[in-house]
Amino acid sequence: MSEIRELLAAGRGTIGGVELDFERCYRAVDSRDGRFDGWFYTAVTSTGIYCRPSCPAVTPKPENVRFHPSAASAQRAGFRACRRCRPDAAPGSPEWDVRADVVGRAMRLISDGVVDRAGVPGLASRLGYTERHLHRMLTAELGAGPLALARAQRAQTARILIETTDLGLAEIAFAAGFGSVRQFNDTIREVFGAVPSALRKPRRGPAPEAGAIHLRLAYRPPLHAESLMEFLALRAVPGVEEADTTTYRRALRLPHGSATVELTPTPGYVAALLRLSDVRDLSPAVARCRRLLDLDADPVAVDAALAEDEALAAAVAKEPGVRVPRSVDSFEMAVRAVIGQQISVAAARKVLSRLVPAGGDQLTPFPGPQEVLALPDEAFGMPAARRDTIRALASAVAAGELDLDPGADREEAVRGLTRLPGVGPWTAGYVAMRGVGDPDSFLPTDLGVRRGAKALGLPDDPKALDARAARWAPWRSYALIRLWRQA
């Protein structure tokens, strides 16, 4: 990642306040380097098209090239998306997972559909800034404000629905978050250079299942899919999740209803089958699936940093591309962490399954804060102190006193968690890593982490191990997953 950050942070050529080194960017485009997909976009003045760096098309002449820090910036400058490389479907920039500042938090919230549901005022309120200041910060970093960034996402959502469903175009317009059919038509023409109906290709075979959407979730290789599937399968809560060595299925709680998702990693992409009760939830569903599997990570950069420690080098070489399994619901992950204190994974699964409403053969979303608060004492099946902790957690989230959403301030989330009775550093750190998405969380007192450290010849004393882990910043969460695998 250091090479890419240098590329983006130094050199000549400024777009939207972001400096892009032209020579390095052009070399990446000329070599079709997929590592740069999502980091920047290539706009070609002679064609009016913008592409991802790895686009297989003939490399344009340097004098015809402009680089942009976001798809929204390229669209704002009047360029339309390449239909060959589909730059709107590129993996997201790893920066938005790593960064804990306002811009990073804003990007995570926009990808979760907050602007579509609450508008820019709602986004600004969540972040604690005025709309004007937020617009200024995003434009300076990304060459586009929150409305333009959300518009680019709506266009991608609309394209997916046009290509994968038989919904009418008017239905798609509102499902994708557009305020009117006219706005939808204008945006599709501007972004893709075609009217919406032209994007709908003739479909052979049976009609798609109502409410079912098939799509491919791109990622930066390598992806160690086995570790992801093993981790999720071991912790799958009956009634909510199912998993085997190749596929993970679960129910989702989304802003407009429930859904189920089936995720199958394959070379080059993760195949996703979504069944939505409301197609307006497509964008947040995709964002949460990407977050769950950590698909926007830059594994080459992470692995290179960890391999600098000789104790981890062999493990990294043996299993490149290990990701941090995160979550689709941070409240659910916090409940899991509280219940998982000092008991086995198998025992935690059994206790968690008692909280899930009976759904027969159907998978059911994990209960939300209000549903947990409504449960009778006997439904918890755990010591009273732990039950009280879960109720305090649910009450704080329901009241808005504790924010664990993708755009949460990570440090404040940890402070808020540790203020709850029965929540200590291990629980808060686990939620920070898997629920809030902190790539640099570490749990030196965890027994599995200490066993894994010992297996690799690292110190297993918590203080000494924590001191050694300072070398692995800002990727300590990834090191933690590797230590668990060694254990």
Q: Which residues contact 244 (CB under 8 A, 6 or more apart)?
A: 229, 233
Structure tokens at 341: 């204190």
Distance CA 324, CA 315 (A): 15
Given a contact cutoff of 8 angstroms between Cβ atoms, the answer to whether 218 and 238 are in contact is no
Structure tokens at 102: 């306002």
- Other C-beta atoms closer than 10 Å to the C-beta of 5 total 13
Distance CA 251, CA 254 (A): 10
Structure tokens at 25: 């960017």
Q: What share of the chain is helix, strand, coil (3-state, %, to 5)?
A: 50, 10, 40
112 is catalytic: no
Structure tokens at 405: 């959403």
Q: Which residues contact 123 (CB under 8 A, 6 or more apart)?
A: 106, 109, 110, 114, 115, 134, 146
Helix (H) or strand (E) holding 42: strand 41-44
β-sheet bridge partners, residue 44: 49, 65
Catalytic choice (25, 51, 85, 289) = 51
Structure tokens at 242: 């199912």
Catalytic choice (37, 303, 446, 460) = 446
**In a 10 Å sphere around its CB, with 0-12 CB exposed, 13-18 middle and 19+ buried, how is residue 251 labelled?**
buried
Looking at 2-130, list the stretches that DSSP marks H as alpha helix, in order from N- to C-terminal side. Answer: 2-9, 22-30, 71-76, 95-98, 102-111, 114-127
Distance CA 204, CA 206 (A): 7
In terms of Cα–Cα distance, which of 360, 79, 116, 86 is closest to 193?
Answer: 79
**In a 10 Å sphere around its CB, with 0-12 CB exposed, 13-18 middle and 19+ buried, how is residue 480 labelled?**
buried
Given a contact cutoff of 8 angstroms between Cβ atoms, the answer to whether 278 and 295 are in contact is no
3-state secondary structure (DSSP) of residue 163: helix
**How many contiguous H segments (helices) and E segments (strands) does the chain have?**
23, 11
Distance CA 391, CA 192 (A): 49
β-sheet bridge partners, residue 259: 252, 276
Distance CA 332, CA 193 (A): 42
At 310, the amino acid letter reads E
51 is catalytic: yes
Q: Which residues are catalytic?
A: 51, 446
